[in-house]
Structure 1
């Protein structure tokens, strides 16, 4: 979702950190492509080429569904994959890297590959993190002292102040449903989400980082493990960054309060089209909801649904 949101709102966003993620519109609205080309590519089902990615972005921009892609040229990108990832083959991240390399100077891109890491957010802040090579819930791993959140933020923002010894800001739960067009459950979004607000940010004026959880990392799946243990909050405290943690809820067909049949059993953000054909654009319900949350944090009128 980080790539989709960045490209949809490239005029506003400054860059993206991608953990084992693939190219924009990789699945082309098809679950079969999502499972093959975008997760387990092969000779017969390769990841999107650079030309494929450019075509998808240019077509969406021409239709007025995403911001003009020239804004991407001032972005920064941080990409991570694990050599022992059992969920998303690193070739998929390589394909995304090729896209950024076609737009950005080398200094604006950082590609991190840990040979012994599995499919996970690599953190030093979760005391019960899995072993480095694991590709299992909660998908938060410890790989020695590798701090993905810190490296990601420093590359996107610039030199950081030293990390706070402990996160002592305020973790706020809020009603996410009010930001979602229509009913939150129809978009597989939870009623509640979180924002981490450092004490220095209570009067406003802070940068905002959106931390999208991965599949099977929703609060319904793992509680607040990602929100509290992904590693962003202590860095946020010492660097005046508000962190937004929007939330998906797993769906398997019908659900209480929804007439819409949604197949999202692993609680993923929509990167293959379960919310509709415009899932990768500014008009997608999930992207629109997150943008409204950002606007509210910034005190903009657009934050009012």
Structure 2
């Protein structure tokens, strides 16, 4: 093949043991199987930032300039999580590990809970591409039950009835649809209320009417415009009721920029491949504390979508703040960062950095985000 297969030395070792190429760099570089056609191979070689998500022109949304501050306790009535790609995997890990807190999840392009099993090779060749065997949804469901029995995740009974909204684009060549299908099966088997949209022509991306990338592409900043409004569909499903239309007026809230070190284990966000700064969009109605409780939405970017890499593009274009203003919703935007074993700024869904508990309550990034959630009143 014209796109060479990774060498055995490059793939050697675990996710926390760097070889000639850091395993996560291998994960980013060899995103699609070399057995595919030349056209698909060249496309993947150009775009495979594995779980790093796609640049064309499009509408631009406003977002307030960040205001330094701290998270404080708001009146939160319900808490949800959403994410794309590596952020989609972490969103699912958060939902499963803390199902007593999260009432539902919205996920663009990711697979079933702990598909990677702590292995970069499994993550790459079974949980994105699918030519290597991977654990079945039934096996991962039993793994989840075992972890629940050991107290490593919340009881699986909490997942029954939870709304789960899933999206996979027809031009996504980074995560195969079969992997996303497993995620749908996993939650259906636990009795969740699953809505699964496979009708889009999107590439590998978060899809939004404010996205600047052409629908079928996979290019930075990986927010695609397909002429529809997935956020309305997602929020309607998660909230179990119609939502108010997104505002078209200037946003009335504050984008709080807070120190993630205060929430990271050991007070060191960089040590768990998280950025110093995180963000929260707080609408005026929620900041004032009047008018009743607000919802909290944790929104997780994908690889190469961190603030350090693309600035506020994900927060501007995700089309969540516009719904936040009209639906009493605070949006929390935690931030990953790049590191030696995470050069693309991905969330930890395969066990990099020696975090063997990355998918359960003791996971370092999960611990940090849950500290943010609790500080916010979720």
Which of residues 322, 326, 336 in structure 2 aligns to 1:234?
Answer: 322
Whether the aligned pair in 2 keeps the contact of 1:47 and 1:91 (CA below 8 Å) is no
Which of residues 191, 205, 214 in structure 1 aligns to 2:302?
Answer: 214
Q: Where in structure 1 are there 5+ consecutive unaligned residues?
A: 253-262, 301-305
Which of residues 337, 361, 377 in structure 2 aligns to 1:282?
Answer: 361
Whether the aligned pair in 1 keeps the contact of 2:244 and 2:326 (CA below 8 Å) is yes
Task: Give the distance between the partners of 1:97 and 1:20, measured in 2 at CA.
Answer: 11
Alignment partner of 1:40 is 2:125: no
Alignment partner of 1:292 is 2:367: no
Whether the aligned pair in 1 keeps the contact of 2:208 and 2:318 (CA below 8 Å) is yes
1:269: Cα distance to partner?
Answer: 0.6
* Alignment deviations for residues 27-71 of structure 1 (CA, whole Å, 9 cap, x no partner): 0000000001110012xx144312211122012112211111110
Aligned to 1:116: 201
Q: Taking CA–CA contacts closer than 8 Å with sequence separation of 6 or more, which of the two structures ends up with the larger relative contact order?
A: 2
1:180: Cα distance to partner?
Answer: 0.5
Superposed, 1:246-285 pairs within 5 Å as 246-252=334-340, 263-275=341-353, 276-285=355-364
Whether the aligned pair in 2 keeps the contact of 1:150 and 1:231 (CA below 8 Å) is no
- 2:300 aligns to what SS in structure 1? coil
Task: Give the distance between the partners of 1:116 and 1:203, measured in 2 at CA.
Answer: 41
Whether the aligned pair in 1 keeps the contact of 2:122 and 2:134 (CA below 8 Å) is no
Task: Give the distance between the partners of 1:50 and 1:162, measured in 2 at CA.
Answer: 36
Aligned to 2:117: 28
Aligned to 1:303: none
Whether the aligned pair in 2 keeps the contact of 1:48 and 1:95 (CA below 8 Å) is no
Alignment partner of 1:165 is 2:248: yes
Aligned to 2:262: 178
Larger Rg: 2
Aligned to 1:4: 93
TM-score, length basis structure 2: 0.72
Alignment partner of 1:130 is 2:213: yes
Aligned-residue RMSD, C-alpha:
1.3
Alignment partner of 1:79 is 2:166: yes
1:148: Cα distance to partner?
Answer: 2.1
Whether the aligned pair in 2 keeps the contact of 1:248 and 1:269 (CA below 8 Å) is yes
1:115: Cα distance to partner?
Answer: 4.4
Q: Which runs of 4+ in 1 moved over 2 A?
A: none
Q: Where in structure 2 are there 5+ consecutive unaligned residues?
A: 1-89
> How many residues are paired up?
282
